[in-house]
DNA sequence: TGATATAGTGCAGTTTATTGCCTTATTTTT
DNA sequence: AAAAATAAGGCAATAAACTGCACTATATCA
């Protein structure tokens, strides 16, 4: 999962839940600026920040084995 | 996936692949100190750092929907 | 269209991650 | 047990994340 996909996932999930950046940032306990930077692709958040954001969205950061067989 | 589990996953995966911290750090292009701090639970790496490490281990950082039904 | 809400950005201060160097601890090998 | 390899940790410099504030841009709604 590339960086871009993580962003897209967060963005989409947030929109599905109909939460604004402002609310999400507040609930997650991270600065609004931080969330904005992340979602606009200008940011390299720490794992903790990422975790806090994901948590509020009912998601979790995980590591999974890459699939080497690409396009079937 | 808690922070602790991420650490455990990296550590175990690294050991399975029989790679030393030194080699992994080098291959991933991150400082040895950074990797040590992470694996010993004293560190809050950025997503980029995490990604570089995971990548070398044949893994990827991802976000998945949390499972709300815990222990059956 | 005008008003309002939501998202994006420049600037700057504070905190913290990243990193190397060097030392200590622990584990593994001979 | 001694030696070698690997992991852990203190210290300090540098780079970058985190943050608020104020402003701009864009989307949404009446």
Partner B contacted by A60 (CB < 8 A): yes
Does residue A43 approach strand D to less than 7 Å at its CB? yes
Residue B32 structure tokens? 């040895």
- Burial tier of B40 (Cβ tally within 10 Å: 0-12, 13-18, 19+): exposed
Task: Select from B47, B59, B66 the Cβ nearest to the Cβ of A50.
Answer: B47
Spell out where chain A has E strands. 59-65
Q: What is the pLDDT of residues A29-58, one digit of tens each?
A: 999 999 999 999 999 999 999 999 999 999
pTM: 0.93
pLDDT the model gives residue A69: 75
Partner B contacted by A30 (CB < 8 A): no
What is the residue whose two structure tokens read 């929109």? A15
Residue A49 structure tokens? 């920040």
Q: What is the pLDDT of residues B19-72, one digit of tens each?
A: 999 999 999 999 999 999 999 999 999 999 999 999 999 999 999 999 887 545
Whether the CB-CB separation of B51 and A57 falls below 8 Å is answered with no
Partner A contacted by B12 (CB < 8 A): no
């Amino acid at each position: 999962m590339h960086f871009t996909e993580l962003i897209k996932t967060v963005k989409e999930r947030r929109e599905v839940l109909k939460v604004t950046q402002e609310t999400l940032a507040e609930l997650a306990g991270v600065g609004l600026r931080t969330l904005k930077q992340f979602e606009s692709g200008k940011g390299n958040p720490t794992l903790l920040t990422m975790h806090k954001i994901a948590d509020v969205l009912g998601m979790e950061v995980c590591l999974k084995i890459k699939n080497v067989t690409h396009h079937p």
